[in-house]
């Protein structure tokens, strides 16, 4: 089944249609960040088709027009929320630059060799709306594009959302109410609800992380909006259990009223459930990860640091990455309020045997380890840092993993390893019958060996949509209903 048909718009009619009949990915788009800003960041096109002669290689590089962008997350001009609109087309990759504030529209009509369509300068966005430091991008069912922002032009903190037309013109702010911090968001018109998360103050996080700033410059709240009215309905203070809540994922099935948030610093997974009787969102910590007692690190305990989470399209499996502890985990969330650990796979991280951090025996036993894990090597290449961004194939069988968080954080926590060796893209195989993960030993893209020097790879996107960019609308529901 192809992504579109003669009587539909982009994407798939339902998440299960994508899961059972979706196209097998052959290409992945990966932002490549130049850590010192000496040349432009670029969009790398990677061949992931095992039958191709260029399998596991970067086959195209599209430099941005400017230096110092810090490309980060991306989205689409149209996705499965536009499925009912045959005039819509998933043609343009929306590529916000976290540091510069520039937002690029990339034409993927030629999927193997994307080109520039247009761009909006960060200073123009700031002058028109006061918004800056853009992060997550989602398409809306009416063809417009919505992008979360994390601050103001002066680098101070404020959360809001930028609206663009389908042809990439500035509409303005989505909401007239700023939140204290901003980061990610997900919406579901069926429940007239959108929820956003919090990161921190751009002037702080863009330069690295200082634990002394936690109470003043990093968030711990979720913001629940009335989707139709674009007004704040509820603010949830997660407290110490939810420090720096980053990625949010609702169930893909638009009739299900729950979702998950990964609280990065607290390193917990928080379950969210919408109560239609009072239009409130309830929450509870359903996966609690203790910090690891260590020796030879900046603090006496090390947070696992959840930096990405993903739900499979059948809503059965929850994947997440611990960037500092160094492992990827998968939980069975068939009963979403009672997740069950299925598997854990160590990739690297600060507690790897090859680093300077030592982990006492009791802490290892708590992780069901007898020794500190070795840093993963694939095709002879040692994987740097820890697992970070995740992307799952539509059929739920292949999990792509990159290892760069932010260039300043990469260098702060993992030092010269990232500066000289760059980052990597690896692929894990997932067996849904057993719930087990395994390394694909035949797949590796080493961004440390790029022609013009080492770069840092971040979020992955497939040309046909994926588990973190597509949002489905319930039957009979419109994007603004």
CA 17 to chain centre: 23
Q: ∠156-177-306 over CA atoms, to 5°?
A: 60
C-alpha distances in Å from residue 86, one per residue of 6, 78, 117: 8, 11, 22
Q: Are 436 and 217 in contact (CB under 8 A)?
A: no
More confident: 88 or 44: 44
Q: What is the mean pLDDT of residues 402-410?
A: 97
Q: Are 160 and 131 in contact (CB under 8 A)?
A: yes
Q: Are 77 and 463 in contact (CB under 8 A)?
A: no
Tell me the per-residue pLDDT of 317-341, one tens digit each, with 9 for 90 and over.
999 999 999 999 999 999 999 999 9
- Res. 297 pLDDT band, cuts 50 70 90: very high
Q: What is the mean pLDDT of residues 65-92?
A: 93
Whether residue 235 is predicted with pLDDT greater than 60 in this model: the reply is yes
What's the number of CA atoms in the CB half-sphere (13 Å) around residue 206? 24
Q: What is the DSSP string of 115-141?
A: EEEEEE-HHHHHHHHS-EEEEEEEE-T
pLDDT score of 480: 72
Residues 205, 183: Cα–Cα separation, whole Å: 12
Whether residue 1 is predicted with pLDDT greater than 90 in this model: the reply is no
Residue carrying structure tokens 């499979």: 312
pLDDT score of 481: 52
pLDDT score of 172: 97
Q: What is the mean pLDDT of residues 335-358?
A: 96
pLDDT score of 418: 86
pLDDT score of 6: 38
Residues 75, 238: Cα–Cα separation, whole Å: 27
CA 243 to chain centre: 17
pLDDT score of 63: 98
Residues 103, 31: Cα–Cα separation, whole Å: 13
Tell me the per-residue pLDDT of 426-450, one tens digit each, with 9 for 90 and over.
999 999 999 999 999 999 999 999 9
pTM: 0.97
pLDDT score of 208: 96
Residues 34, 22: Cα–Cα separation, whole Å: 34
φ, ψ for residue 34, nearest 5 deg? -85, 110
Contacts of 99 (CB under 8 A, 6+ apart): 68, 69, 70, 133, 206
Of the chain, the percentage scoring pLDDT greater than 90 comes to 91
Can you read off the two tokens belonging to residue 389? 């961004």
Q: Are 148 and 185 in contact (CB under 8 A)?
A: yes
Q: What is the dihedral of CA 83, 149, 463, 92, to 10 degrees?
A: 80
Average pLDDT over all residues of the chain? 95
For residue 436, list its beta bridge partners.
Answer: 431
Residues 390, 402: Cα–Cα separation, whole Å: 7
Query: Nearest-CA neighbor of 465 among 10, 58, 56?
Result: 10
Query: What's the full length of the chain, in residues?
Result: 481
Query: Nearest-CA neighbor of 302 among 320, 289, 285?
Result: 289
Helix (H, G, I), strand (E, B) or coil at 230: coil
Contacts of 300 (CB under 8 A, 6+ apart): 293, 294
Whether residue 3 is predicted with pLDDT greater than 80 in this model: the reply is no
Q: Are 117 and 105 in contact (CB under 8 A)?
A: yes
Tell me the per-residue pLDDT of 89-120, one tens digit each, with 9 for 90 and over.
999 999 999 999 999 999 999 999 999 999 99
Residues 321, 351: Cα–Cα separation, whole Å: 14
Dihedral sign for Cα 333, 334, 337, 343, please. negative
Whether residue 49 is predicted with pLDDT greater than 50 in this model: the reply is yes
Question: What does the buried/exposed string (b/e) look like for 350-378 if buried means 16 or more CB atoms within 10 Å of the residue's CB?
Answer: bbbeebebebeeebbeebeeeebbebbeb
pLDDT score of 58: 98
Whether residue 61 is predicted with pLDDT greater than 90 in this model: the reply is yes
SS (H, E, C) 7-43: CCCCCCCCHHHHHHHCCCCCEEEEEEECCCCCCCCEE
Helix (H, G, I), strand (E, B) or coil at 142: coil
Question: What does the buried/exposed string (b/e) look like for 243-272 if buried means 16 or more CB atoms within 10 Å of the residue's CB?
Answer: bbbbbbbbbbbbebbbbbbbbbbbbbbbbb
Residues 121, 100: Cα–Cα separation, whole Å: 8
Q: What is the DSSP-derived secondary structure letter of residue 96?
A: E
pLDDT score of 9: 80
- Res. 2 pLDDT band, cuts 50 70 90: very low
Q: Indicate the pairing of strand 193-196 with strand 185-188.
A: antiparallel
Can you read off the two tokens belonging to residue 443? 């797949």
Residues 378, 164: Cα–Cα separation, whole Å: 41
Q: What is the mean pLDDT of residues 241-256?
A: 98
Q: What is the DSSP-derived secondary structure letter of residue 101?
A: -
Q: What is the mean pLDDT of residues 156-180?
A: 97
């Amino acid at each position: 089944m192809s992504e579109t048909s003669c009587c539909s718009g982009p994407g798939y009619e339902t998440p299960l249609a994508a899961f059972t009949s979706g196209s097998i990915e052959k290409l992945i788009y990966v932002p490549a960040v130049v850590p010192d800003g000496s040349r432009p960041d670029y969009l790398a096109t990677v061949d992931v088709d095992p039958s191709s002669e260029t399998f596991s290689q970067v086959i195209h590089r599209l430099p941005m027009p400017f230096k110092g962008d810090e490309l980060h997350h991306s989205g689409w001009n149209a996705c499965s929320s536009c499925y009912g609109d045959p005039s819509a087309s998933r043609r343009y990759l929306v590529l916000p630059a976290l540091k510069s504030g520039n937002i690029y529209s990339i034409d993927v009509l030629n999927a193997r060799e994307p080109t520039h369509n247009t761009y909006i300068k960060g200073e123009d966005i700031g002058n028109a709306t006061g918004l800056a430091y853009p992060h997550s991008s989602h398409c809306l069912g009416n063809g417009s594009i919505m992008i979360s922002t994390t601050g103001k032009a002066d680098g101070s903190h404020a959360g809001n959302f930028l609206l663009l037309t389908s042809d990439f013109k500035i509409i303005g702010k989505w909401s007239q109410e700023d939140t204290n911090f901003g980061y990610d968001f997900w919406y579901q018109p069926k429940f007239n609800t959108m929820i956003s998360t919090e990161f921190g103050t751009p002037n702080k996080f863009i330069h690295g992380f200082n634990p002394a700033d936690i109470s003043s410059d990093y968030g711990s709240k979720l913001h629940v909006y009335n989707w139709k009215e674009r007004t704040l309905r509820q603010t949830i203070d997660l407290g110490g259990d939810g420090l720096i809540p980053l990625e949010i994922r609702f169930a893909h099935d638009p009739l299900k009223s729950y979702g998950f948030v990964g609280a990065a610093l607290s390193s917990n997974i928080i379950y969210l459930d919408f109560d239609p009787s009072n239009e409130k969102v309830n929450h509870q910590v359903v996966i609690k990860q203790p910090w690891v007692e260590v020796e030879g690190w900046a603090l006496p305990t090390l947070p696992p640091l959840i930096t990405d989470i993903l739900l499979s399209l059948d809503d059965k499996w929850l994947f997440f990455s611990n960037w500092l502890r160094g492992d990827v985990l998968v939980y069975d969330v068939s009963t979403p309020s009672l997740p069950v650990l299925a598997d854990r796979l160590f990739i690297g991280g600060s507690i790897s045997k090859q680093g300077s951090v030592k982990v006492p025996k009791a802490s290892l036993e708590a992780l069901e380890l007898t020794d500190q894990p070795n840093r993963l090597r694939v095709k002879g290449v040692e994987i740097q840092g820890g697992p970070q961004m995740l992307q799952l194939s539509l059929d739920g069988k292949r999990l792509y993993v990159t290892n760069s968080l932010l260039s300043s954080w990469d260098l702060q926590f993992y030092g010269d390893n990232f500066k000289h060796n760059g980052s990597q893209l690896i692929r894990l195989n997932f067996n849904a019958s057993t719930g087990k993960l395994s390394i694909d030993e035949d797949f590796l893209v080493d961004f440390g060996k790029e022609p013009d020097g080492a770069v840092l790879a971040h979020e992955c996107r497939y040309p046909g949509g994926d588990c973190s960019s597509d949002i489905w609308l319930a039957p009979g529901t419109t994007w603004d209903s």
